């Protein structure tokens, strides 16, 4: 029997790749300079395009495969790992480190894992395609009482975004997604390869180092009715600049009046304010009006479960019957992609979310992480002030979440890496969570030297 939902792989993949190549190549409205990783993306253009093999090259059918560039964010860690310098600091990837510079496994996670290990009734059977039911129920927004949400466990935030985007490309009438300028460098790739067409809306104003709220409203207002809009739920990456609650309300009104479909990326809930509820306000505003939306959640950062790849995609619908049908189609997206998600990380999260005491312990540990990051902001700000480093650095303490968008340019970043072994993304973003009071003076020296000496 012919399955109408199956798309031919060859031509459709080719189309997606050429769309991405076009997007990365610059003749698209969302040109490479519009993302936070302009330079490395340009070179991706030819590297990502399929290279059809017609003959042997050097004895291998893959002889003509070109070397792809490293990922602009994860590649920073690759370079860092190769550097033998004892003073090197990795401020690239957004991964929390302790004051001692070590990765942190939350105590509450250790406790949950112990409970899981001790429970001999637990088995390693496949999960359903949609993942662990209890995890999904506990992850879904508590504001949704009416059962009008379809939640599926996915491979962390990235997997949730990808599954949501694949679903939209297949079942939603408008294929254009507007993403903020700048945004997380993986967003345009995830959405383009899922079959959506990516455009940008103004978000950040480099002159004020704040939100370009007027530009944002104008661009959303000028977008076609029904377009999808990617919104960072809180702690915007890379800028650390979020709308206020009043501004969120204005965004909501505009989007609802134009029937724009919100797709929230919630990768840092708890890292903006230290409070899970406060950081969910943006999403909850949109849920409270009864309208529809998508939300991709990640537990990588707020539970420190990075490598466990645990996250959830929620599609909030108008009514329960719609949500049921949406879930049935999400299963058709997931089954041929990875069949069903892994069990361990979701079991940890469910163990913590279901137990009042463990949940409370989590919120305390989360707040401690957020507070340490804030204290690093103050230390760095004070260190630059005491060095008399030219420029206004108050954005370091004003911006929120894991990152500071320093305003340092590519050359200055390269200088800091070369001379000071400070590793960060070329757009000038630093992960504050990777700093400690021991490394702040070294970073301040590097920034001072970069802005006073580098071109
Ligand atoms: N969305 C945003 C806005 C992110 O910053 C990240 C991760 C994700 C989604 C995906 O996270 P997950 O799949 O691990 O849940 N950004 C990191 C890491 C922390 C990365 O680039 O993969 C970053 O350094 O920007």
Which atom of ligand 1 is found nearest the CA of 187?
A: 1
One-character DSSP codes across 121-190: T---PPPPTT--HHHHHHHS-TT--SS-EEEEEEEHHHHHHHHHHHHHHHH-S--EEEEEES--TTHHHH
Cα separation, 333 vs 136, whole angstroms: 17
Apex 95 CA angle, 298 and 194, nearest 5: 45
Q: Answer for the pair 260, 229: CB distance below 8 angstroms, yes or no.
A: yes
Q: What is the CATH number of the domain that holds 89?
A: 3.90.1150.10
Which atom of ligand 1 is found nearest the CA of 73?
A: 21
For the question of residue 184 being annotated catalytic, the response is yes
Average confidence (pLDDT) over 75-97: 94
pLDDT at residue 297 greater than cutoff 80: yes
Q: Looking at the structure, tell me whether residues 145 and 253 fall in a common domain.
A: yes
What pLDDT does residue 51 have? 59
What pLDDT does residue 17 have? 56
Cα separation, 209 vs 200, whole angstroms: 18
Average confidence (pLDDT) over 231-246: 97
Cα separation, 384 vs 445, whole angstroms: 8
- Probe residue for ligand 1, chosen from 77, 92, 157, 349 as the CB with the greatest number of ligand atoms within 8 Å: 157
Q: Answer for the pair 121, 115: CB distance below 8 angstroms, yes or no.
A: no
Q: Looking at the structure, tell me whether residues 298 and 406 fall in a common domain.
A: no
The answer as to whether 253 is a domain residue is yes
**What is the count of structural domains for the chain?**
2
Q: Answer for the pair 223, 201: CB distance below 8 angstroms, yes or no.
A: yes
Average confidence (pLDDT) over 263-290: 95
Q: Looking at the structure, tell me whether residues 189 and 131 fall in a common domain.
A: yes
Q: Looking at the structure, tell me whether residues 216 and 174 fall in a common domain.
A: yes
| Residue 94 beta carbon below 6 angstroms from any ligand 1 atom | yes
Q: Which helix (H) or strand (E) holds 293?
A: strand 293-298
For the question of residue 189 being annotated catalytic, the response is no
The answer as to whether 274 is a domain residue is yes
| Residue 184 beta carbon below 6 angstroms from any ligand 1 atom | yes
Which atom of ligand 1 is found nearest the CA of 158?
A: 13
Q: Give the strand pairing for 228-232 and 261-266.
A: parallel
Q: Looking at the structure, tell me whether residues 339 and 428 fall in a common domain.
A: no
What pLDDT does residue 40 have? 41
Q: Looking at the structure, tell me whether residues 382 and 344 fall in a common domain.
A: no
Tell me the pLDDT tens digit for each residue of 194-228: 999 999 999 999 999 999 999 999 999 999 999 99
For the question of residue 362 being annotated catalytic, the response is no
One-character DSSP codes across 260-290: -EEEEEES-TTTTTS-HHHHTHHHHHHHHTT
Instruction: Give residue 147's pLDDT band: very low, low, confident or very high (50, 70, 90).
Output: confident
Ligand 1 centroid, distance to 47 Cα (angstroms): 22
Kindly report the pTM of this predicted structure.
Answer: 0.89
Q: Where are the alpha helices (DSSP H) in 339-428?
A: 344-354, 356-387, 395-398, 410-420
Residue 84, classed as helix, strand or coil, is: coil
Q: Answer for the pair 138, 354: CB distance below 8 angstroms, yes or no.
A: yes
Q: Which domain holds residue 93?
A: 74-104+370-453
Ligand 1 centroid, distance to 128 Cα (angstroms): 25
Q: Which of 102, 452, 96 is nearest to 304 (CA)?
A: 96
Lowest mean pLDDT, pick from 46-50, 156-160, 318-322, 433-437: 46-50
- At 364, list the tokens: 């305390």
What pLDDT does residue 430 have? 97
Cα separation, 438 vs 431, whole angstroms: 15
Ligand 1 centroid, distance to 40 Cα (angstroms): 18
Q: Looking at the structure, tell me whether residues 153 and 233 fall in a common domain.
A: yes
Q: Answer for the pair 343, 168: CB distance below 8 angstroms, yes or no.
A: no
Q: Looking at the structure, tell me whether residues 130 and 235 fall in a common domain.
A: yes
b (16+ CB within 10 A) / e for 322-332: ebeebbeebeb
Cα separation, 357 vs 355, whole angstroms: 6
What pLDDT does residue 38 have? 39
Cα separation, 303 vs 80, whole angstroms: 25
């Amino acid at each position: 029997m012919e399955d109408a939902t199956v798309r031919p792989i060859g031509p459709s993949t080719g189309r997606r790749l050429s769309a991405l190549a076009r997007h990365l190549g610059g003749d698209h409205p969302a040109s490479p300079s519009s993302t936070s990783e302009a330079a490395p993306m340009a070179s991706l253009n030819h590297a990502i395009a399929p290279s059809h093999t017609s003959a042997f090259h050097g004895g291998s059918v893959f002889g003509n495969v070109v070397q792809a560039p490293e990922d602009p964010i994860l590649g920073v860690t690759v370079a860092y790992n190769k550097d033998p310098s004892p003073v090197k600091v990795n401020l690239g990837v957004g991964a929390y480190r302790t004051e001692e510079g070590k990765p942190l496994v939350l105590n509450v996670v250790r406790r949950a894992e112990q409970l899981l290990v001790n429970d001999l009734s637990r088995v390693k059977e496949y999960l359903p395609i949609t993942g662990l039911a209890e995890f999904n129920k506990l992850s879904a927004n508590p504001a949704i009482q009416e059962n009008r949400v379809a939640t599926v466990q996915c491979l962390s935030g990235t997997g949730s975004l990808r599954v949501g985007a694949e679903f939209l490309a297949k079942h939603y009438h408008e294929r254009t997604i507007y993403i903020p300028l700048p945004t997380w460098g993986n967003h345009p790739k995830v959405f383009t390869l899922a079959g959506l067409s990516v455009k940008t809306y103004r978000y950040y104003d480099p002159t004020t180092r704040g939100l370009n709220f007027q530009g944002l409203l104008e661009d959303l207002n000028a977008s076609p009715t029904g377009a999808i809009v990617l919104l960072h739920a809180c702690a915007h990456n890379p800028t650390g600049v979020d709308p206020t609650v009043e501004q969120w309300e204005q965004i909501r009104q505009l989007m609802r009046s134009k029937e724009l479909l919100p797709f929230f990326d919630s990768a840092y809930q708890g890292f903006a304010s230290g409070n899970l509820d406060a950081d969910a306000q943006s999403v909850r505003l949109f849920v409270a009006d009864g309208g529809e939306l998508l939300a991709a959640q990640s537990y990588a950062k707020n539970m420190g479960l990075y490598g466990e790849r645990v996250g959830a995609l929620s599609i909030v619908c108008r009514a329960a019957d719609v949500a049921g049908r949406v879930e049935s189609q999400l299963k058709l997206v997931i089954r041929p992609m990875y069949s069903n998600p892994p069990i361990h990380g979701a079991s940890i999260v469910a163990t913590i979310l279901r137990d009042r005491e463990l949940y409370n312990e989590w919120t305390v540990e989360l707040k401690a992480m957020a507070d340490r990051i804030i204290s690093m902001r103050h230390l760095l700000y004070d260190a630059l002030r005491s060095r008399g480093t030219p420029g206004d650095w108050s954005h370091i303490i004003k911006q929120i979440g894991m990152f500071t968008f320093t305003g340092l340019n590519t050359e200055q970043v390269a200088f800091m890496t070369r001379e000071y072994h400070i590793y960060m993304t070329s757009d000038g973003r630093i992960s504050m969570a990777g700093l400690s009071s021991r490394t702040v003076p070294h970073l301040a020296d590097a920034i001072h030297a970069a802005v006073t000496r580098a071109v």
